[in-house]
Structure 1
Amino acid sequence: MLGIMDRDSRGYALSLDLLLALIPLTLVLGLVAADMDNFMYQMQDVIHRGSTERVAADTMNTLLTTSGDPYDWEQNVSNLKVPGLAKYDESSQQPQKYYLLPEKILSITSPQIQTLLGDQYGYSFNISSISSGTNILLRGTRGDASVDPDAKEVVRVERIVLYSPFEIVSDAVNIRGTGKPITIEGNTFPTNIEYNSLFDYYVYVNSTGPTPVTAAWVDINTVTVVKPNDFSGGTNPVVKLIDPAEYGSDVLKNETELLPNDVTIRLAGSPTDKMNVYILKVPKGTPIGEIILAGANTQKYRAILYMWVR
C-alpha cells in the first residue's frame, strides 16, 4: 500500500513540475502574441528599407555607369528613353563608367531621373567638386531639390566620379611663325541649337615663344573672332567669346542637327613666334575671368543620392 502511495505521489509531483514549467512558456507566448503587430511592423520596415536601398543603388548605377538610351540623347533630349550621364567612347562603343559628360549633366531634368525611381519614392541628387565644393548638378522631387524633412527614413548612396568643367573641342598647338603669313586649319567642332543653349564657346590663344605674338587671326566659319589688336600690350593669353550677338548668327552652326564649325588660324610673324589655339566649350554664362585651360583637366566630384518612400 505504501509503495502504491509513493508511486502516486511521484506522479503528482511530475504533473506539478510540468505545470510550473508551462507557466513561463505561456507567458512568453502571450507576450509574443501581444507584440505580433509591432513585430510585423518592424519586419515591413526592414523589407521597405531593403527595397529602397536596392532601387537607390540601381538608380546610381544607371546614371553614372551608362550613357543612357540612346547613348547620344543629349543631342536631342526629346529622344530620351533612359537617362545616363557617362561619356560614350565612339571607338570602343562603350560608356566610360563614372566619367560624366557636361552636355548630359546640363540637359538632364528632375522628372527624367524620377522615371528611374518610380513615383512612390522621393529623391534629392547632387554632384559637387571634392576640392572646391562647387555644385554642378542639383535635381530632386522637391522644388529646391532638398530632402523631405517629414520622411521617416532616408537612404543615402554616394559615388566618386570624374568630370571636366570645360572641354577642349578644337586645338592647334605649336604653331610657329615662318617670317611670312601662314594659314592652317584647326580641328572642327560641332554645335547645334541644343548645344548653343547650354554652352558658350571661347577662343583661347596663348603665346609660347620667347617673344609674344603680335599679329594673328582666328576665324570661325570665315568670321574673324581674334585680330592682331587683341594682342596689343603683350596680352597673353587672348581669350574671346564666340558670341553670335557680336559676330552674327553665322559664326556658330545653329541647326537641329549637329554640324561642324571650321577653324582657320593665320599667323604673320618670325620663327620666334609660337602659339597654341584652343576652342573651349564651357557652361552657359561662365564669366570670361574664369576661362583657364586648367578647367579642362579631369577632376574628382562626389555624387550623392538621397531617397525615401513618399
Structure 2
Amino acid sequence: MFDILSEDSRGFAISMDLLLALIPLTLVLGFVAADMDNILYQMEDTVFRGATDRAASDAVSTLVTTSGDPVNWETTGVANVVGLAQYDTSKGAPVEGTIDPVKLAAVTDSQIQSIIGPNYHYYMNITTLNQTNTPVTIKLMGNASYPNAKDVVKVERVVLSSKFKVVTSLIQQIRFTGGGKTYTTSPFQTSYTSTNSYDYWILLANNQGFTAATVSVNNNVFSFNSANMGTPQKINSTFLTTNSTIPNQYFNNTVTFNGTGSFPSSIDLYIVQTPKNTGASEITSDTVKLKPSTFDLYLWLS
C-alpha cells in the first residue's frame, strides 16, 4: 500500500501550484507596466476627445436652438450669450433650427469663441443643401486650418437658413378673382434701433398675371406696374412705427395689398429686412426663401 504524502510534501506541492499560477499574472503585470505610458496616453486622449465632443455639441445646440440672451442682441449690440435661432415674437419663443439671417450677419468671432471657451479653435460653415444646383455658402467663420489640425471633432445639424430675413409675407395666398379684394399680412415689428441698423423692403415675386398692384405700409402707398413689378422697393424708415425715447421697444406695422390683372392671377408678397446698404438687385425670392442647410462646427484643442 502506497504511503500517503507527508505534510512537507503536500506543502511543497501547494507552493509549486501557487508559483505556477503566479507566473502568468507576473507576465501580464510586466506587459502592463511596460506599456503603461501608452495606456495612460490613450486614456488621456479619450478624456480630452470626450470633452471636445461635449463642447462642440453644446455650442451647436446653443447656436441653433436658442435666440440668445437677450433675444434681440443683434439689434441692441449687447449679448450675454449669442444664439442664432429666429425669435417668434407672437409666441415668445425661439424657432429652433431656423437661423435668423440678421443674427447671423451680426455675430462676431469673439462671441462664438465665448461659447466654446478659450481652449479650442473652431471653424463654422453653413451651406445650403441643394441636389440640383451648386450649394451656396451662407456663412464661414473661424480658423480654416482645421484639415491640418489633430483630433478634430465635427458636429453637423440640418437647419433652415436664408440670406435675408422675411419679417412678414403672403405666400400662395394672393389671387385675383375679378374683384377689388384687399389682402392683409400679419403685422411686422420695428423699433427705433432696428430702423437705424436695417432697411425694410417690399418684394413682389412669382407674379403670374398681375399687371398693377399697390402695397400699403401703415397707409403709405407703394405703386407697382408691369414695368417694375419684380423690382423691390425700399420702405422709407419714417413710414415705420418707432419711438426714439424708447429705442428698443418694438411696434407693429400693418401691410395691405391690392392688385389687378387677368383671371386667375397670383403673386407672393414679402417684407424683407436687410443690412444697411443692401442693393435692390440682391433681394430676390431665392435670397429670402428659407432653404435646408448644413450647419457644421469643427472644434479642436488650441
Q: TM over 0.5: same fold?
A: yes
Matched, 1:278 2:269: yes
Matched, 1:34 2:26: no
Q: Give distance in 1, aligned partners of 2:197 and 2:137.
A: 16
Counterpart residue number, 1:303: 295
Larger strand proportion, structure 1 or 2? 2
Q: Is there any run of 5+ residues in structure 1 with no aligned partner, and where?
A: none
Q: Give distance in 2, aligned partners of 1:153 and 1:211.
A: 57
Change (3 A) 1:121 1:71: same
Change (3 A) 1:32 1:307: same
CA positional deviation for 1:308: 1.1
CA positional deviation for 1:43: 0.9
Query: Percent identity among equivalent residues?
Result: 37
CA positional deviation for 1:212: 2.2
Q: Residue 212 of structure 1 aligns to a residue in which SS?
A: strand
Q: 2:159 aligns with which of 161, 178, 187?
A: 161
Which structure 2 residues correspond to residues 226-245 of structure 1 after superposition, within 5 A? 226=223, 231=225, 234-235=226-227, 237-242=229-234
Q: Is there any run of 5+ residues in structure 2 with no aligned partner, and where?
A: none
Counterpart residue number, 1:112: 111
CA positional deviation for 1:118: 1.2
Q: Give distance in 1, aligned partners of 2:183 and 2:115.
A: 48
CA positional deviation for 1:195: 4.5
Q: Number of aligned residue pairs: give it.
A: 290
Select the structure of larger CA radius of gyration: 1
- Contact (CA 8 Å) 2:166, 2:273: kept in 1 or not? no
Which structure 2 residues correspond to residues 127-138 of structure 1 after superposition, within 5 A? 127-131=126-130, 132-138=134-140
Q: Give distance in 2, aligned partners of 1:301 and 1:70.
A: 25
CA positional deviation for 1:304: 1.0
In structure 2, give the amino acid aligned to 1:49: R
TM-score norm. by structure 2 comes to 0.73
In structure 2, give the amino acid aligned to 1:139: M
Matched, 1:124 2:115: no
- Contact (CA 8 Å) 1:176, 1:275: kept in 2 or not? no
In structure 1, give the amino acid aligned to 2:298: Y
- Contact (CA 8 Å) 1:170, 1:279: kept in 2 or not? yes
In structure 1, give the amino acid aligned to 2:41: Y
- Contact (CA 8 Å) 1:210, 1:273: kept in 2 or not? yes
CA positional deviation for 1:201: 3.5
In structure 2, give the amino acid aligned to 1:309: L
CA deviation map 1:157-205 (0-9, x unaligned): 11111234444435574578879xx999877644457646765543334
- Contact (CA 8 Å) 1:207, 1:274: kept in 2 or not? no
- Contact (CA 8 Å) 2:189, 2:253: kept in 1 or not? yes
How well do the aligned residues superpose, as a CA RMSD in angstroms?
4.2
Q: Residue 153 of structure 2 aligns to a residue in which SS?
A: strand
- Contact (CA 8 Å) 1:121, 1:307: kept in 2 or not? yes
Q: Give distance in 2, aligned partners of 1:122 and 1:42.
A: 22
Q: Residue 297 of structure 2 aligns to a residue in which SS?
A: strand
Which structure 2 residues correspond to residues 66-215 of structure 1 after superposition, within 5 A? 66-78=66-78, 80-131=79-130, 132-140=134-142, 142=143, 145-147=144-146, 149=148, 151-170=149-168, 173-174=174-175, 189-191=188-190, 195=194, 199-205=198-204, 212-213=211-212
Q: Give distance in 2, aligned partners of 1:148 and 1:210.
A: 52
Q: Give distance in 2, aligned partners of 1:51 and 1:240.
A: 48
In structure 2, give the amino acid aligned to 1:64: V
TM-score norm. by structure 1 comes to 0.71
- Contact (CA 8 Å) 2:123, 2:297: kept in 1 or not? yes
CA positional deviation for 1:121: 1.4
Q: Give distance in 1, aligned partners of 2:214 and 2:74.
A: 33
Q: Give distance in 1, aligned partners of 2:167 and 2:23.
A: 82
Change (3 A) 1:270 1:52: closer
